[in-house]
Structure 1
Amino acid sequence: MVSESAGNAGLVRRLFRFNRLHRSFESPRYLLKWLVLSTLIGIVAGIGAIVFYTAIHYANHWFIEELVGYVQPSPAGEGPTTIMSFWSSARPWLLPVVTTLGGLVAGFIVFTWAPEAEGHGTDAAIKAFHEGTSIRARIPLIKLVASAITIGTGGSAGREGPAAQISAGFGSIMANVLHLDAQDRRIALATGMGSGIGAIFSAPLGGAILAAEILYKDDLEVEAIMPALIASIVGYSIFGAYSGWHTIFSVPRDLAFSSPPQLLYYVVIGILCGFIGRLYARGFYGLTHQFHHLPLPNWVKPGIGGLLVGLIGLVIPQAIGMGYGWVQVSMGTGLLSLPIWIILLLPFVKILTTGLTVGSGGSGGIFGPGMVIGGMVGAAVWRLSYHVLPGVPAIPGPFVIVAMMALFGGIAHAPLAIMLMVAEMTGNLSLLAPAMIAVSISSILVGKDTIYSSQVNTKADSPAHRLQMSFPLLSTLSVHQAMTPLKQCFLTSQTVADAEKALADGVVSGAPVVDHDGNLRGVVTITDIQRLPANQRADKSLKEIMNTNVVTLDSYATLDEALEQLTSARVSWAPVVDSDPLSPARKILGILSAASIAQIYRRTLAKDSRRMRGVVEGTVMLEAKIEEHAPLVNKPLRDAHLPSECLIVSIRRNGELIFPRGSSVIQAGDTVTFLVSPQGEELLQNYLANRTPVLATS
């Protein structure tokens, strides 16, 4: 019964394994695969968003509203927007006590059970993507509890980072369970990150684009977009069914851009947001650096940060908590009720309180505070220019919305995603035109500064794609071209002594272990044998000591993927198995080693030919100079008897391009471009070398 269930689990895992040649949403199996995976991730993202949202609500109600007696304004989609005087609270003096205790408790939870859950979460998920590491199973739960306590007790943090890490953590766990390859693991993680953010902010499109955009400063992870779109809409649907289908912020329906001269104001907003965005990033990481060097236990530091935030909150209570309610207030005429010194200081004080909360090791996001900082920059511009300069909008909403997009879109290097998210959060698309101006200017002024320290510039700078970018030829070669035939393997029933004797004179450090049907069961190495005392080796079978957690390679996987698998597992060789996902057996086809990869790489470079991906998915283009001994020389193409699955695309002779016909005659020295399937490439190479006869095309 156990073996049957294990076999079924193995079959399910194999159904989700694809080589790169079939990684296209035009492939029905690949589409089905990501429909299933993305739906599962989206379900967890939606449920996680509900649990996290509810936990924050209750924590804030118990600690800030009940204990301190202070009710903060909420965005229109989440509660009342009524402004309450802080000093009319029942016990305002308790605020520093609550924020300090919240920081201490959250810090103790994080640094006792999951130190990697400190900080804002999104950066940790980005780092895990690039480095190919897994997110531990406990992280989502620890992050949820610690962040709810931090935010619910008045810490200045957002809810997007924890939401991203919760669903990204599930994506990572699911990838481990299904044994997905390295690239699919990363896509699952990015999908979880985008769907978590899209769900909790009711912004599914923006969240999906964010999954692809936030990983790099100047690039996109295009493969993540489609899975993230599926997961994000599933997560949003589940969260919306619980919280309602309204937007987070409420703005007038007639809010629109209709005055071109106003673009000058949006240019000013873009400039201010660019500089203040850089201040946000540098101030945040400056405070983080200072806290890391404090000679105190790590779990104490969030308590110190909480104490300072609470003391600041006694003077400027608008700087505590998430602050989304104050953004809602600033979008309307309620902004006029706030003292102008509060409006001018709040962006800078919010930077300080966010650095003290999250930079000290507290748990929470930095996207939300970035929205508040940007929104208050726009509010300050409107407040200073209203009734002073011509053409200013009648309400501050347009300036606030565009500034939210400009500040965080620039410093996060995710302009498109942030514009879409804020548009979805406000239900207003008409301000995208002026937002493009402001976000572009802000992004230019930000330069290479970023609020996410784990971002890299482009795919070429990411460990996730370094092999593919550094050795592009490897991505056009497949495992079956480089593998060597299986020369030695052992049966599970053989003794350890038998294996030791066989490996003693060999040049390899180990060999596969198979059952009597020839199916792979494990591998055994000299190191495994040496762990067993010498006097027991004649009595123990290989089944008892073999390593069953084997790295296996699909025969039609690309060599850059295979090399990444070998280096990630820190092994020098691995068995190549039958890649048929419908077969529960794992028949060994050969062995691939790092040395054989290097050999075919050098051999391919040395050929007088050039290899590239074909214009058609699943094909390869081979450009070769025709030698005198080639069988197609001085023959019409109709009589050349080319190998099957091979087509001549072009002929270049003395700098002249010739388009082939049946009557065309190829001469020695011509450079010919072939379009061939990966399976037929070896036949073509043999044909050109005139080594063996091949089956001609009809």
Structure 2
Amino acid sequence: MKGLEQKWKAPEQARISWFLIRWTILAIPLAILVGSLVAFFLWSLDEVTNLRLRNPWLLAFLPAAGVLIYFLYDLAGKRTEKGNNLILDEIHEPSTGIPLRLAPLVLIATLITHLFGGSAGREGTAVQMGGSLADALAKPFRLDQEDRKTLLLCGMAAGFGAVFGTPVTGALFAVEVLFLGQILHTALLPCLIASLLADITCQFWGVGHVSYSILSEAITLTVPENWWNSGMLLVKVILLGACAGLVSACFSMLTNQVKYISNMLIPRPWLVPIAGGLIIIGLSMIPGNQDYLGLGVWNADPSVVTISSAFSTGGAETFSWVWKLLFTAITIGMGFKGGEVTPLFFIGATLGNVLAVWMGAPVDLMAGLGFIAMFAAATNTPIACTIMGIELFGGEHFLFFAIACFTAYYFSGHTGIYSSQRSGIPKTGRLLKKIEDEP
């Protein structure tokens, strides 16, 4: 192969072996710490969610909760407000580091958000805790800047893999999210080691994850007698991917606009979360329920719209995805904490449910595809999300996972929920020409 030596060199293989051994040793303490903290976070999140569901009146205190979160971050320092983007910035351009106080701060703020009904996720909390702990370990490990970047990526991977129980996705997410159109292969195996060990640690503490399943029979595209049915389903999957990409772009732009307009119109920053809390309370009165508050993963009441219910016929209303999009954009855009990914799962799954009914497609399959495609579009990580489909739903529908995620990735344009994600190669760019033009 041009540009690569074909001759095997023992010294090079020895260096690679030492590289893997060294990073396994470095990843073990980080993964144990992150996995344990994520386990505590998931347990705490279940507790505060159940408490809110038993006491719906807690929603009335959401504005006050927003003020509390604002002053907690104000006392901790303005840099902590950047969240996931702070970690991405430190990897791109190392500066003063990630404060260790970010880990307990984002954990507490996320629990407050969910306790009082804010529509937010959990991946942001896990990733930020992972990055904060990784940077705290970089100094005693005496790592140089390049190794510190790799350790930060391992922290991100560990947090993501543990919080969702998807270790391979966690590793791919960390190395794919830095640049749009590029993957940082050098950190791939260290990130996988950290993500896998963190997930094992989280499970060791007895913390489980909600399981989803696609029971619809897989259709083989290459079998001639399936060509018509598989071709029609393929068209529907492509349409779903396109819709997911467009909705994701709307979500990203709306969240940014909510943040910009609220900061422009409201003179005092601490008043922004108060206004946000009041808007959420008012919005919740329109559908007449609290289905779109909090995490939205599961509910004992089968009449409540959740991610789990979206995998069944009748498990979502026509505009469920719109409501969740609005609630989340306002929650995140006006100062509450947690992350966007789990709400994106909700938006994608309910969108898939609605489109499945309209197009006459399998509901559980379309909900699962919407689940991962929306995430792929919002984070520009189609490969990681394709693998997430396999880790969550099994590999029978692998080809449809890829088609939905790749299509959504393109249709989201150059938007995303992480402002510090850098553009490596434009989605419609010409790769070979770009490489040839580089000095």
TM-score range, shorter chain: 0.7 to 0.9
> 2:237 matched to which residue of 1?
266
Give a deviation string over 1:72-119, Cα, whole Å, max 9, x none: xxxxxxxxxxxxxxxxxxxxxx35413223222222212222433336
How far apart in 2 are the matches of 1:243 and 1:334? 33
Question: Partner of 1:369 in structure 2?
Answer: 343
- 1:411 matched to 2:378: yes
Map of 2:26 onto structure 1: 37
Give the counterpart letter for 2:150 in structure 1: I
Work out whether residues 208 and 232 of structure 1, in 8 Å CA contact, stay in contact via their aligned partners in 2. Answer: yes
- Provide, for residues 242-271 of structure 1, a one-character-per-residue CA deviation record: whole Å limited to 9, x for no partner: 3456x5233255653454131011011012
Conservation of the 8 A alpha-carbon contact between 2:320 and 2:347 = yes
Which stretch shifts more, 159-168 or 292-301?
Answer: 292-301
Deviations 1:213-262 (Å, cap 9, x if unpaired)? 011111111122111111111110011123456x5233255653454131
TM-score (norm 1): 0.54
Specify which of 252, 256, 262 is matched with residue 281 of structure 1.
Answer: 252
Question: Are 1:451 and 2:417 counterparts?
Answer: yes
2:50 counterpart residue number: 61
One-letter amino acid of the structure 2 residue matched with residue 318 of structure 1: D
Residue 185 of structure 2 is matched in structure 1 by 222
Give the aligned CA root-mean-square deviation in angstroms: 2.4
The aligned counterpart of 1:333 is 313
The code of the aligned residue for 1:251 comes to: S
Give 2:367's aligned amino acid. Answer: V
Q: Alpha carbons of 1:152 and 1:422: their partners in 2 closer, same or farther (altered >3 Å)?
A: farther
Structure 1 segment 316-355 matched on structure 2, within 5 A: 316=287, 317-325=290-298, 326-335=306-315, 338=316, 343-355=317-329
Deviations 1:453-488, CA, capped at 9 Å, x for gaps: 10111299xxxxxxxx9xx99xxxxxxxxxxxxxxx
CA contact (8 A) 1:96 1:308 kept: no
Written as runs of structure 1 = structure 2, the 5 A alignment for 1:96-175 is: 96-118=59-81, 121-133=83-95, 134-175=97-138
Q: Structure 2: which amino acid aligns with 1:409?
A: A
1:270 and 1:308, CA in 2 relative to 1: closer, same or farther beyond 3 A? Answer: same
**SS of residue matched to 1:344:** coil
Q: How does 1:15-30 map to 2 (within 5 A)?
A: 26-30=15-19
Deviation at 1:443, TM superposition (A): 1.8
In structure 2, what is the Cα distance between the partners aligned to 1:141 and 1:429?
37
Aligned AA (1:319) = Y
Q: Is the 8 A contact 1:122 1:193 kept in 2?
A: no
Matches of 2:64 and 2:176, distance apart in 1: 37
Cα distance between partner residues in 2 of 1:344 and 1:208: 35
Q: 1:124: Cα distance to partner?
A: 2.5
Contact 1:111 1:299 in 2 (8 A): no
Task: Please tell me whether the aligned partners of residues 330 and 397 of structure 1 are also in contact (alpha carbons under 8 angstroms).
Answer: yes
Structure 2 counterparts to residues 574-653 of structure 1, below 5 A: none
Residues 95 and 310 of structure 1 are in contact (CA less than 8 Å); yes or no, is this contact kept in structure 2? no
Do residues 48 (structure 1) and 37 (structure 2) align?
yes
Q: Distance in 2 between matches of 1:297 and 1:278?
A: 29
SS of equivalent residue, structure 2 residue 319:
helix
Name structure 1 gaps, 5 residues minimum.
1-21, 69-93, 387-391, 461-468, 474-698
From the two aligned structures, give the one with the greater helix fraction: 2
Does residue 248 (structure 1) correspond to residue 210 (structure 2)? The answer is yes
Give yes or no for contact 2:166–2:199 (8 Å, CA) kept in 1: yes
- The CA distance in 2 between the partners of 1:152 and 1:25, in whole Å, is 52
Cα distance in 2 for partners of 1:252, 1:359 equals 33
1:254 and 1:132, CA in 2 relative to 1: closer, same or farther beyond 3 A?
Answer: same
Give the Cα–Cα distance (whole angstroms) in 1 for the partners of residues 81 and 277 of structure 2: 14
Unaligned runs of 5+ in 2: 1-10, 221-228, 299-305, 427-434
> Which amino acid is 2:132 matched to?
G
Q: Identity percentage over the alignment?
A: 23
Equivalent in the alignment of 1:378? 352
Alignment partner, residue 394 of structure 2: 428
Q: CA shift at 1:209, angstroms?
A: 0.7
On the 8 A contact 1:143/1:166 being kept in 2, the answer is: yes
Mapped partners of 1:420, 1:101: distance in 2: 40
Counterparts of 1:374 and 1:290, CA distance in 2: 26
The 8 Å contact of residues 114 and 139 in structure 1, kept in 2 or not, is answered as: no
Question: SS at 2:210's partner residue?
Answer: coil
Summarize deviations over 1:379-418 as a string: whole Å, max 9, x none: 11012234xxxxx22xx11001111222221231100111
Identify if the C-alpha distance between structure 1 residues 23 and 218 changes in structure 2 by more than 3 Å, giving closer, same or farther: farther
The letter for the 2-side match of 1:211 is A
Q: Distance in 2 between matches of 1:234 and 1:404?
A: 25
Q: Structure 1 residues 296, 48: closer, same or farther in 2, change over 3 A? A: farther
2:224 corresponds to: none
Contact 1:193 1:211 in 2 (8 A): yes
Q: Matched residues in 1 for 2:341 and 2:13: separation?
A: 32
> Measured at CA, do residues 420 and 58 of structure 1 come closer, stay the same or move farther in structure 2, by a change above 3 Å?
same
* Number of residue equivalences: 400
Q: Deviations over 1:42-73 (max 9, x none)?
A: 112201111211222222233x13432xxxxx
Q: Could you tell me how far 1:39 is from its partner in structure 2?
A: 1.2
SS, match of residue 337 in structure 2? coil
Distance across 2 between alignment mates of 1:350 and 1:379: 14
Cross-structure match for 2:4: none
For the Cα contact (< 8 Å) 1:107–1:300, is it kept in 2? no
* 8 Å Cα contact 2:59-2:117 kept in structure 1: no
Query: SS where residue 291 of structure 2 aligns?
Result: helix
State the alpha-carbon separation in 1 of the partners of residues 273 and 387 from structure 2: 33
Q: CA 1:344–1:117 in structure 2 vs 1: closer, same or farther (change >3 Å)?
A: farther
**Compared with structure 1, are the counterparts of its residues 291 and 238 closer, same or farther at alpha carbon in structure 2 (3 Å cutoff)?**
same
In the other structure, the counterpart of 2:142 is 179
* Conservation of the 8 A alpha-carbon contact between 2:127 and 2:156: yes
Q: Which amino acid aligns with 1:360?
A: M
Name which of 374, 387, 408 aligns with 1:442: 408
Q: State whether structure 2 residue 269 is matched by structure 1 residue 298.
A: yes
Deviations 1:568-598 (A, max 9, x none): xxxxxxxxxxxxxxxxxxxxxxxxxxxxxxx
CA deviation after TM superposition for structure 1 residue 151, in Å: 2.0
Query: What residue identity is the alignment partner of 1:289?
Result: Y
Indicate how the Cα distance of structure 1 residues 447 and 270 shifts in structure 2: closer, same or farther if over 3 A, else same.
same
Question: CA 1:107/1:330 → structure 2, altered by over 3 Å: closer, same or farther?
Answer: same
Maintained 8 Å contact 2:240/2:370: yes
- Secondary structure of 2:182 counterpart: coil
3-state SS, counterpart of residue 319 of structure 1: coil
Corresponding position of 2:226: none
User: Whole-Å Cα distance in 2 between the matches of residues 269 and 348 of structure 1?
Assistant: 15
Q: Which amino acid aligns with 1:327?
A: I
Q: Give the 5 Å matches for 1:675-686.
A: none
Distance in 2 of aligned mates of 1:158 and 1:98? 19
